[in-house]
Amino acid sequence: MKFAARALMLVCALALVIPAFADDQEKADKEIKKISAITADPNMRAVVNRTLADMMNVKRLDLVKERQTMNLTYGGVFLAHQLAASGAKMDDIATQLKSGKSITDVANDQHANWKQIGNEAKKVNKKVDENIEKYFQNTKKETEKNQADDYVAQDDHTGADSGISKAEYADAQSRYQHLHDMASSRLPTGDANTLNSGQGQYTPGAAAPSAAGGRH
């Protein structure tokens, strides 16, 4: 009788834990896709690259090389670094990806802490938003950072980047416009008019001379 009661308690506990785990993964996945989607615009890709490099303490061009080697979006390379921070080896992650697994499969195989990953992804997106506003407020200064780091947005792409859905593009467009408008509202009238005339369009895959710089 006691065994049956304990077994029932265990089943009930699992019934509560599994949905919570799935919910944590869903929330983390949403934040990770948000990181990736905004990079469809080359100017924003430069911002995300610099933000992640700063937050993860890696060189910008090393980050480009990593994601190209593993064929990951920026959200994917963020997740790979989260797994590495929890003890996984980047070479092992790369090997599993080459075997046909997705980065999410690799994370689940390693029993990733999706709640923690989701929280970290939120921090990244918050910092990305701050840096996008700074880009809009002083594009020249932000572009000079790309040149100093020898970063070229047009050279920073992977096959995985084309996997962003139409809904994610639409969300990224809204995010871009919101941040553009926020930046504009904080500038003097003359500067705001200049900003509105040249930086108000989210352009997936378009040439982005203001993000270019350095050597090819």
Q: What is the pLDDT of residues 146-163, one digit of tens each?
A: 999 999 999 999 999 999
CB 28 within 8 Å of CB 118 = yes
For residues 194 and 19, the model is more confident at 19
Pick from 1-10, 17-26, 36-45: least confident: 1-10
Is the pTM above the cut of 0.75?
Answer: yes
CA neighbours within 13 Å on the CB side: how many for 17?
6
Does the structure show a pLDDT above 70 at 5? no
* pLDDT range class, residue 203, cuts 50, 70, 90: low
How is residue 178 written in tokens? Answer: 């919101």
> How many angstroms separate the CA atoms of 172 and 39, rounded?
9
Residue 194 pLDDT > 60: no
Burial of 142 (0-12, 13-18, 19+ CB in 10 A): buried
pLDDT classification of 199: cutoffs 50, 70, 90 = low
* Short-list 213, 52, 201, CA closest to 131: 52
Helices 60-70 + 42-56 axis angle, to 10 = 110
What pLDDT shows up at residue 144? 96
The confidence score (pLDDT) of residue 185 equals 87
What the block records as the tokens of 93 is 């992650």
Domain positions in the chain: 25-211
The closest alpha carbon to 34, from 71, 75, 77, belongs to: 75
